[in-house]
Amino acid sequence: MVPESPSNLKIENLTPEDLYALNNLPGVLIERKKHSNFSVNDIVLEMSHLIDRDTVRKVELKMLEAKLKNEFKLSKAFSLV
C-alpha cells in the first residue's frame, strides 16, 4: 500500500537504536555525520537490493524477540534461536 503522504525521514532523525539496527546488517555502514541528509526511504530501497533472505529473517527474528521481551517482561537472555 502506498502511504497517503511520503516520509521525509532523514538519517539524522533516526534514533541511535534504529541507526544501530541498520548498521548491524552485513556490509552496511551508515554514519550520521556523513549521511545525515540522506533519505531513509532511499537508503532502505537501495539496501533491499543487497540483502538476502537469511538476513531479513534474522532481522525479523530479532524484532520479534524484542517485542516478546518487552510485552511479556522476559529476561534479556531470552532468544528465539
- Residue ranges covered by each domain of the chain: 9-50, 52-81
Q: What is the pTM of this model?
A: 0.57
Angstrom distance (rounded) from CA 1 to CA 78: 34
Task: At 58, list the grid cell.
Answer: 534474522
Q: Render pLDDT for 6-63 as a digit per residue (tens, 0 to 9).
A: 788 999 999 999 999 889 887 889 999 999 999 998 888 888 777 778 877 888 888 8
Cβ atoms 28, 11 nearer than 8 A: no
Q: Render pLDDT for 23-38 as a digit per residue (tens, 0 to 9).
A: 988 788 999 999 999 9
Residue 60's pLDDT is 84
With cell 551508515, the residue in question is: 30
